[in-house]
Structure 1
Amino acid sequence: MALHRERWGVPDVLSRAPGRVNLIGEHTDYNDGFVFPMAIEFDTVVALSRAKSGSPSTVISEIFGEARRDDEREPITATHWAAYVFGVSHLLNGLGKSIGPWRCTIATDVPIGASLSSSAALEVAMARALLQLAGESWDATATAELCQRVEHEVVGMPCGIMDPLISAGAVRGHASLIDCRSLEMLPRRLPDGTVIAILDTMTRRELVDSAYADRRAACERAARWLSVAALRDAELDELERMPAELAVERRRARHVITENERTLAAATAMDAGDAAAFGALMNASHASLRDDYEVSGQALDAMVQIAHSSPGCIGARMTGGGFAGCAVALVAADAADDFIPAVQERYRAVSGLNASVWLSQPAAGASHIDSIGQHPE
């Protein structure tokens, strides 16, 4: 990385971690359920060097600028962009990892705030680099759990495990069915002749300031009323017993229960190479997120509707936390070149915005980079 060399010389460590797109299984991870994400071909890269003892830890982002932390006991401002970076270092030090002060630079092409998990990519890439610098072993699951702690304890975002786990542990060429209770990852290939399209509405949201925490709290209230550890354990017919005053909680629970069923059915469809069945499940997922979970939005609904009627689309839905950001579509590979301009033109006509549409094959999870542009499989 040129910026790191200019400021501090050749880095001691280079690491990368990808963003992700979730194909189906939304808002189920913090309910101990099932999700089906894949890593995407956008990365965050961290260049890291040791600093002299007593020096501040310093980070420079090509997008956000420079930040420093003079002492490990210094409070971390949760709303500052560098909280993700300093939070990883702080928690690793708390686990007894011998890291010491460091200097790092960050570059990324993961779109920020687009529901493609730019924060998890940053956390995982930073954790990968710091562990390498400290001579510690790398474990994808343990790293994902650490990064989830950063979100909970430092940033204040009560997210599930999906984002850091797929960023850390994805298998190239595969999406992964993840059991968010056991943390088992089961890689699956996309149906033959299909490609994933990521459709950026160019609208943005801040999840910490959104209704995300309210949705999680409603799920927890529903689980308590149903006397289950998590909504993963609830049955659909049990919701009929919930009283009228818990109508909101009933709808939230109905989404989670049916979304888990859809996600498992999607894995079966993918195993069978049944793209049409997988696409239908994506469509049903969007309707449930829109109507029962109420986390879609005008731009997302418009984008999904446009995708449905564009050449080669097999299925489409919003993806990520919701309210804004990206949708995802399963598209016939031989129609992808027609699908992209059709979506962009029609979305511009209804919204006045210039959508970005990318095609992506499933990428590999986090890795150490031996040299710029090269990393182990």
Structure 2
Amino acid sequence: MTNRAPAAERAVALHRERWGAPAAISRAPGRVNLIGEHTDYNDGFVLPMAIEFDTVVAMSPGDNDTECVVLSEAFGEATFGRRMPKIDSSHWAAYAFGVHHLLVECGIAPGLWRCAIATDIPIGASLSSSAALDVAVTKALLHLTGDDWHTEAIAQLCQRVENEVVGMPCGIMDPLISAGAVAGHASLVDCRSLDMLPRRLPDGTVIAILDTMTRRELVDSAYADRRAACERAARWLSVAALRDAELHELERMPAELAVERRRARHVITENERTLAAADAMEAGDADALGALMNASHLSLRDDYEVSGPALDAMVQIAHASPGCIGARMTGGGFAGCAVALVAADAADDFAGDVQEGYRAVTGLDASVWLSRPAAGASLIDSIERHTA
């Protein structure tokens, strides 16, 4: 992203400056979703990959008996006491404090601790910065307590942080891919069983992340309204979740449920596209994958209505740029990032054209990053290397 030191070095330096050498260092990546949007909380299928931007937590046991301390390079310092007062869901530190709170509920005793946080993940860009923070804090606290949880349990706890502490009714995708991604692969995730099936990108392609430099708050009525509409549609169709519905069944829905029908149509067809995309990746068919990504954007724009002017402009500009095979908005929507499948030998020209074209249309300076599929969360065991 910039010429500054990696997040691991910055987090450790911040910890050392305040408290000395950390006892645990954990990293968790952001993610970009290639296809399968707003399907995770409908028990459906998603196809994300971890990206090469990390959030890093450097942590050690506390040196007093009254409070835990979180020190962020971006947001400053926050504390909470042993008696666990009510967590302010709107506070940036609610994620870290929420992990502690729910671990205690699960019978884990983290004790008092202090940590320093640094990240290379753009905040609010639909690249899952919050899930990466949840996962990194969870990994570090479990290391301090000597507990070893499997990927699914970590992801489920982190989803609870988002749902119950922060108030964001999101699905399992973000923490699951941040915790369990396989290096070099995207993953077809079944959000009901939590099975993860690694899939490589087609040969000769690369993923481009296209930041519109517009931002939105995910904890808002628009996201909750869409989830509620999906739940109403599922109830009307007498299915446990829209993952179980068939497209032809929507014809029976009455006119007064037109909005619910459109939301359900997106979810059902997006699940179909996601499964087809995984097959295209298995076959190495870049053109088929790109066409499915294009269709996904149209569905998100027209049926789910979560795109926005900047996202639509970015996708149109990407389509017109050299080497583009497919492009779509990614993440919760309304603002943030798009994602494109690009021919690797044209990637640099693609990035330049997108930035120039987007500036001409919007007056904004977009960021374009090329990323390989990264590995999921891990502990950084060479602490000496980071504390010398």
Give the TM-score taking structure 1 as reference length: 0.98
Partner of 2:170: 159
Match of 1:212 among 199, 202, 223: 223
Match of 2:66 among 55, 60, 72: 55
Gaps spanning 5+ residues in structure 1: where? none
Gaps spanning 5+ residues in structure 2: where? 1-11
Partner of 2:246: 235
Partner of 2:152: 141
> Deviation per CA, 1:71-128, whole angstroms, max 9, x where unpaired?
2431100000000000001100111112100000000000000000000000000000
41 and 82 in structure 1: CA distance in 2 versus 1, 3 angstrom threshold: same
- 1:333 matched to 2:344: yes
- 1:138 Cα deviation from its structure 2 partner: 3.0
278 and 119 in structure 1: CA distance in 2 versus 1, 3 angstrom threshold: same
Q: How far apart in 1 are the matches of 2:26 and 2:84?
A: 26
1:53/1:100 contact within 8 Å kept = no
203 and 317 in structure 1: CA distance in 2 versus 1, 3 angstrom threshold: same
- Paired letter, 1:178: V
Partner of 1:221: 232
- 1:373 Cα deviation from its structure 2 partner: 11
Partner of 1:307: 318
Partner of 1:357: 368
- 1:55 Cα deviation from its structure 2 partner: 2.8
Partner of 1:122: 133
- Paired letter, 2:54: D
Partner of 2:14: 3
- 1:371 Cα deviation from its structure 2 partner: 2.7
Q: How far apart in 1 are the matches of 2:275 and 2:143?
A: 36
Count of residue pairs the alignment pairs up: 375
1:44/1:121 contact within 8 Å kept = yes
Identity %: 80
Give the TM-score taking structure 2 as reference length: 0.95
Partner of 2:6: none
- 1:45 matched to 2:56: yes
Q: How far apart in 2 are the matches of 1:141 and 1:352?
A: 43
Match of 1:79 among 90, 93, 97: 90
Partner of 1:200: 211
Q: Secondary structure at the match of 1:177?
A: strand
- Paired letter, 1:285: S
Match of 1:263 among 271, 274, 278: 274
Q: Secondary structure at the match of 1:24?
A: coil
1:19/1:116 contact within 8 Å kept = yes
- 1:292 matched to 2:338: no
